[in-house]
Amino acid sequence: MQAQQDWEQQKLKGTTTVGITFKEGVVLAADKRATYGTFIAAKDVDKIHVVGDNIAMTIAGGVGDAQTLVRVTKAELELYKYSKGDSMTIQGAATLLANILQGNKYFPYLVQLIVGGYDSSPRLFDLDPFGGLIPEKYTSTGSGSVVAYGLLDEHFKEGMARDDAIRLAVKAVGAALKRDSATGEGIDVVCITKNDIRRYSKEEVRQFTA
């Protein structure tokens, strides 16, 4: 039993994801490595998922649990838009996820999530496995978050320009790549503004590492 608990805790901690608000939106960044304990199980994993017209989420933790929550969130947001004729707010979507996590706390989804997007302004929320929901200006999850926070705490400023926010997110995940064995294989970046959601190519991300 203890071995299983240790393994589940390792699954929860592995990876590094970052969310940062800036003047015109939100940037999400994450590494690409999936681990199974000390074993590198995959090297090209999408940890940032677009789940609506103006909203995306990052995942860290158990792959099956995270994928289930992504599917549920996409379906619920689509149903809401169909029935109400408008998109759910970012806080509404984050609260929906928090309620799902809270309702399963005795058999929890082993995940850490960041929900970010733009409705009337940039919105960013950090969710724990038991449904805790905290609005943030910047945040990080996963085993590399301790390293990432070192850069975020020092360099984040409210009202940052888009490129500065992307550069900081990339550097924060990049620092974790160097120090955390469960983080690796490159960096994904998604930027959400009032008008669009953009996923940056590998070549574009590399420009922000200089």
The residues that are catalytic are 15
- What is the spatial distance between Cα 27 and Cα 9, in angstroms, rounded to a whole number? 27
Strands (E), 13-161: 17-22, 25-31, 34-36, 39-42, 48-52, 55-61, 111-118, 122-127, 133-135, 138-141
For tokens 């199974």, what's the residue? 36
**DSSP 8-state class, residue 20:** E
- What is the spatial distance between Cα 113 and Cα 56, in angstroms, rounded to a whole number? 10
Helices 162-179 & 145-155 angle (0-180, nearest 10): 150
Q: Please name the residues in contact with 9: beta carbons below 8 A apart, sequence gap of 6 or more.
A: none
The CB-based long-range contact list for 41-48 (8 Å cut-off, 24+ gap) reads 43/184, 43/185, 44/185, 45/185, 46/188, 47/15, 47/17, 47/188, 48/17, 48/188, 48/189, 48/190, 48/199
CA 76 to chain centre: 19
